[in-house]
Amino acid sequence: MEERGRYTREEILSQPAAWSAALEVMEAQRKDLQSVALGGYAQVIFTGCGSTYYVALAAAALLQELSGVAARGLPAAELWLFPRSSFVSGKTLLVAISRSGETTETVEACAAFRNAGLGDLLTLSCYADRPLARLGRWNLVLPSGQERSVAQTRAFTTLYLATVALAALWTGKEELTEGMKRLGDCGRSLLSRYGALASSLGGDETLDRFYWLGSGPRYGLACEVSLKMKEMSLSHSEPFHFMEFRHGPKSMITPSALIVGFRSSFQGAREEAVLREAAALGGRVVTIAEEGADVTLISGVDEAIRNVLYLPVGQLLAFERSLSRGLDPDKPHHLDAVVKLT
Ligand code: F1P
């Protein structure tokens, strides 16, 4: 009998190596990717479905922060079915993200975008021989993000890292591109330092609800880890922007609630205050931050490029809870690896 979660475990633990391989692909295509002139677009839209929609959210926030160019993250079905509420007048750069490269909504959204002549398309996926990788003016393929598990982990962080590398490249921030080479080692250190914490929280049967707080470029990442907890462990799990948590959701805090904060350096004091309030209301709180937290990244790299490091511990927590509940993280309830619509 196959070991439950065998593939998910391997995919989570191999992420640092996958990130380094992805950065090598980006470096090899640097010249071609440098031909993208952000100033020529009225807006940049990132799109995907499920996990890759959350990549899109995180990527858009970071690119706009670094470049000042208007950037949005939208689900592919919204672009496909409601284009008028998605596109503004003026040329758009569309960045379509998909692990499989064959999700119907994403492929259809790209085809409609091209047919309408709305701008230029860049695709980001993990399989060169699938439809999406043939649709773009630029097509980035990251094989190291390929997975056997249905729930994305390595694929998510690898595709997300590529969007961070694009933002650094397109804004000419060479120091960020250089700093990204250290992320593989930072990821390995995180996974070894916090495996035990993930296992103990994952096995804690007194927890029955999970809240993930992240703001700015980290909100999309909070959405992703919240989805992992749902997909893998069938638990109640929700993401919020930090300051939004006070406006209603905090009513859900009980001693059985775990609140995980992706605390930034930029607004760390205000974000920490939300977490202290949650603890004072009786919730269990885990803070993830560069330093002075329950989970310390200690990356030594710029905040703009270290956000990928918020993912691994949360992924492991969802993975461990799934196992402790007798589930198989490799085969999430009701889900398929790719959603194909007839
Ligand atoms: C998109 C997606 C995944 C999800 C599940 C179903 O796939 O929604 O995010 O985890 O596997 O498909 P893709 O377009 O990124 O391949």
pLDDT of residue 336: 86
Interatomic CA distance for residues 59 and 157, integer angstroms = 11
Sheet of 257-262, strand order? 236-240, 209-213, 257-262, 284-289, 295-296
Distance 174 CA to ligand 1 centre (A): 32
**Among 299, 300, 274, residue whose Cα is nearest residue 287:** 274
Q: Whose CA is nearest to atom 12 of ligand 1?
A: 338
- Give the atom of ligand 1 at the shortest distance from the alpha carbon of 100: 16
Which of 98, 103, 140, 340 is the pocket-test mutation for ligand 1 (most atoms within 8 Å of CB)? 103
B/e letters for 304-337, b = 16+ CB within 10 Å, e = fewer, are bbbbbbbbbbbbbbbbbbbbeeebbbbbbeeeee
Question: Please, are residues 263 and 275 in contact by the beta-carbon 8 Å criterion?
Answer: yes
Distance 338 CA to ligand 1 centre (A): 6
- Give the atom of ligand 1 at the shortest distance from the alpha carbon of 159: 15
Which of 52, 154, 330 is the pocket-test mutation for ligand 1 (most atoms within 8 Å of CB)? 52
What one-letter code names the amino acid at 69?
Answer: V
pLDDT digits (tens, 9 = 90+) for 161-206: 999 999 999 999 999 999 999 999 999 999 999 999 999 999 999 9
- Give the atom of ligand 1 at the shortest distance from the alpha carbon of 155: 15
Q: Whose CA is nearest to atom 4 of ligand 1?
A: 50
pLDDT string in tens for the chain (342-residue length): 679 999 999 999 999 999 999 999 999 999 999 999 999 999 999 999 999 999 999 999 999 999 999 999 999 999 999 999 998 889 999 999 999 999 999 999 999 999 999 999 999 999 999 999 999 999 999 999 999 999 999 999 999 999 999 999 999 999 999 999 999 999 999 999 999 999 999 999 999 999 999 999 999 999 999 999 999 999 999 999 999 999 999 999 999 999 999 999 999 999 999 999 999 999 999 999 999 999 999 999 999 999 999 999 999 999 999 999 999 999 888 888 888 998
pLDDT digits (tens, 9 = 90+) for 228-283: 999 999 999 999 999 999 999 999 999 999 999 999 999 999 999 999 999 999 99
Distance 339 CA to ligand 1 centre (A): 7
Enumerate the H helices of 171-265 as residue ranges: 174-179, 183-202, 219-233
pLDDT of residue 42: 96
The architecture in CATH of the region 6-172 reads 3-Layer(aba) Sandwich (3.40)
CATH 3.40.50.10490 in the chain, residues?
6-172, 182-324
Q: Domain spanning 182-324: which superfamily?
A: Glucose-6-phosphate isomerase like protein; domain 1 (3.40.50.10490)
Distance 86 CA to ligand 1 centre (A): 21
Interatomic CA distance for residues 261 and 264, integer angstroms = 9
Q: Work out the angle at residue 286's Cα, subtended by the Cα atoms of residues 244 and 303, and round it to the nearest 5 degrees.
A: 70
- The three-state (H, E, C) secondary structure of 81-131, written as one string: HCHHHCCCCCCEEEEEEECCCCCHHHHHHHHHHHHCCCEEEEEEECCCCCH
Using CB distances shorter than 6 Å, the residues near ligand 1 are 48-52, 98-100, 103, 106, 150-152, 335, 337-339
Q: Work out the angle at residue 25's Cα, subtended by the Cα atoms of residues 180 and 164, and round it to the nearest 5 degrees.
A: 40
Distance 284 CA to ligand 1 centre (A): 31
